[in-house]
Amino acid sequence: MTGVTEETSSASASWEDRNNAYLGASLHWLRLRLQAVAEDLHRQARPAAPHTATPSEPAPGPVPAPTPAPAPTTDVREGRRWWSPRERPQSAPLQAAPPGPSDSPQPTPAPGRADGTPEPPDVLALAAEARDAAAAAVHSAHEELSERLGLTAFERDVLLLAAAREFDPAVDALSAAAGAGGQLPGPTFGLALRLFDQPAWDALSPERPLRRLRLVQLDGTGGLTACVLRADERVANYLKGLDHLDERLAETVVPLDDGDGAVAPSASQREAAQALRSRMRQPVSDGRPPVVNMVGPDAASKQLTAGQIAAEMGRSLVRVPVSALPVQPAAAGLTARLWERETLLAPLALYLDAGDEIGEHGPETAAAVGRLLAQVHGPVFLDSREVWPHLGPSALVVDVAGPTAGEQRAVWAAALGPGEEQLAGELAAQFDLDPVALGRAALAVGDGEAGEDADQLRSRVWGACLAVTRPRLDLLAQRLDIRARREDLVLPEIITEQLDRIRDQVRHRAVVYEDWGVARQTSRGLGITALFAGESGTGKTTTAEVLAHELSLDLYRIDLSAVVNKYIGETEKNLRRLFDAAERGGAILFFDEADALYGRRSEVKDSHDRYANVQISYLLQRMESYRGLAILATNMKGAMDQAFTRRLRFVLDFPFPGPTEREAIWRRAFAPGVATDLDHARLARFGLTGGSIHNIAMNATFAAASTSDRVAGMPQVLSAVRMECRKLGLVLDEGEFRWEPPAAAVAAPGGEGSRP
């Protein structure tokens, strides 16, 4: 492997050396051209010396007409030798000398100057030959750029002139000596028109590559010919062999999601990618590949599929959030042209990430995306939750899905090994993981210790699955710390029986829906939904915790009053994000304060009433299709519209606890050893809920911490009861809060025992 690396590095270094040699030869030729033009300009500006005819000289005759210069030959540039030497000018024929006095023939003079000295070599022609030799030895970056961007011979020379000042500081001075004539130092377009063969005025037109793709910048405020030429920094670096993304674009690029540990693409994903790749081979009318709109909620599968296709095409995938694109017309146009240049210069595939919601992006963003798609030449993948509008008929819309339940079961079976088929089925039924999450969770199988039993393996792998599904959901809802157990509940038997039914339906959901085929018969009402109704503190949240513990699932509490938004569409957007994130792990969703949304359905009198009913319907729709358990909690069941409660599978009424239930709650309220000698029957006479009793126990425990014996007795508890009743606005007789400990009868001399 080391030998291959060294060989590759050596080849790269060799190309860089030869590319630099070509640039050096080209710059040398360019300097000589500039010097030649400067010398011609200097000779033309020098005044002629006065001349007086002698008597022996004949009078000057008429000046002969100038011989027209030969038309420039076409610059045919084939193969790698696309530089051709400038034709060497032909000298005028020598006039024959007048016959001398002797009739003997005169010897033919040797070639050279009139004084007999040898003609100096044509250094410009030699430099052109050296440049041609260097061009033949390497496929230079200059040549590569010219071919990719479609530059003419004259445009290639103009680009070289603009970039030369970056490589050689002497070019500015030589340009000035050659009559650049710009307001700023440096070569101008007017100089280029006089300097190179086949000049073309349209080389700097807005539609030609030099300006449209921002290869050359024009500095100065003069006319077009007086503007100084300056090569773009990205282009100058490219000519030197440094291939990097333009820094103006690099600021908008974000890394692709980390795909380390992802499982190999499943059979269904490979087939979908292959079909998409075949469709992308059919270019649209302008020769570019069609835009691919990848839709669906599985962002990881979309990125992996796009990355696989880009790799097969020999391209690097670059991710740009749509929200990072500028929306101002001038800035958006510049960004689109820079990306057009990048996709022509480098083997890139653009991945535009529109996020989960199309509605987040206004018309300006949609226009910026459209302008970019119209100009980028390489493959473009547009990731959106739903179909992106206004893509045109040539776009490909592909719904990218993650691994199926069967494919995930196969991954688990392979990771767990023989004998764990049941666990593999349970994991695939409960968790719908994308390739990255599935691969990382499956790695946890090998982290066990020697001697681990089946229950320990299940608990560890199950926990790993919960961990990979939490990050997105933790941003949207509050994950509760599950501590309650079944023995902590003090509820009527009818409530506990319904809890058992809810638990069993969640546990066997996959068996009934998938294995028994119920889901193939109907698609409505498959979600397991429940309504917990009762006064605050009657045990609704505790009951949800017990369910989460017995099902080994996460419990998330969502305050519906915080989810509901007055702006149209925002509530649905918040709910969609929540359910999409929860689908992966099938967490229990506990919607608290449901009456904030589920009040009695109003008669539609205006747009606000209509929108409120739309919000309610959307939440019910998502609950009914959710693959986990969704619970609504309300304090006002009477305000619920029966049309909505009929769509819920379970309705549990949590009653206000009676004296017997309250006494049982008081006996469980304190931690062991904290409270002693409590009169539970007397405390149960206070009409309080379990939640209030929990608050009293907490306050009494803190009060006991400040006493010498650090024990909560009846005085501390009654004081905490009084405080809780005042908080609730209850009016009670103060005598109820007095405590006189029972005293043993004390025998007094000559009398009966007395009470202290």
Task: Indicate whether 458 and 505 sit together in one domain.
Answer: no
Q: How far apart are CA 262 and CA 244, in angstroms?
A: 28
Note whether 237 and 259 are same-domain residues: no
Identify the domain containing residue 377 by its residue range.
250-399
Which pLDDT score, from 0 to 100, does residue 160 have?
A: 97
What is the C-alpha separation between 660 and 653, in angstroms, rounded? 18
CB neighbour list of residue 677: distance below 8 Å, 6 or more residues apart:
713, 714, 741
CATH code, domain carrying 644: 3.40.50.300
Indicate if 543 and 464 belong to the same structural domain.
Answer: no
From residue 401, give the alpha-carbon distance in Å to each of 219, 623, 698. 52, 21, 50
Q: pLDDT at position 645, please?
A: 85
DSSP string, 535-594: -TTSSHHHHHHHHHHHHT--EEEEEHHHH--SSTTHHHHHHHHHHHHHHTTTPEEEEESG
For residue 240, is it within any domain? Answer: yes
Domains held by the chain: number = 5
DSSP class of residue 534? E
Q: What is the pLDDT of residue 310?
A: 93
Instruction: Indicate the residue among 349, 371, 399 that finishes a domain.
Output: 399
pLDDT, position 106: 47
Task: Identify whether residues 461 and 543 lie together within a single domain.
Answer: no
Indicate if 583 and 444 belong to the same structural domain: no
Note the pLDDT of residue 449: 77
Residue 231 CB partners (closer than 8 Å, separation 6+): 159, 162, 163, 165, 166, 215, 216, 217, 239
In a domain, 612, yes or no: yes
Say if 132 falls within a structural domain.
yes
Q: What is the pTM of this model?
A: 0.77
Residues making up the chain, counted from first to last: 756
Q: How far apart are CA 97 and CA 663, in angstroms?
A: 140
Tell me what pLDDT residue 393 has. Answer: 84
Supply angle C-alpha 569, 575, 577, rounded to 5: 100
- Amino acid identity of 154? F
- pLDDT, block means (10 residues), the chain with 756 residues: 49 82 95 91 71 47 39 36 35 40 45 50 88 94 96 96 94 88 81 92 94 93 86 96 93 86 85 90 79 92 93 94 92 94 94 78 85 90 91 89 91 92 92 92 83 89 94 92 94 96 94 86 85 94 97 93 74 88 93 73 51 78 92 87 86 96 94 89 93 95 87 91 92 80 50 35
Q: Does one domain contain both 589 and 636?
A: yes
Together in a domain, 297 and 368: yes
| CA nearest neighbour of 191 among 150, 233, 220, 149 | 220
Same domain, 562 and 608: yes
Looking at the structure, do residues 25 and 131 belong to the same domain, yes or no? yes
Q: Does residue 95 fall inside a structural domain?
A: no
What pLDDT was estimated at residue 522?
Answer: 79
Compute the distance between CA of residue 529 and CA of residue 650 in angstroms, rounded to an integer. 6
64 lies in some domain: no
- Here the CATH number for the domain that contains residue 711 is 1.10.8.60
- Tokens matching residue 667: 């006996």
Does residue 668 sit in the same domain as residue 639?
A: no
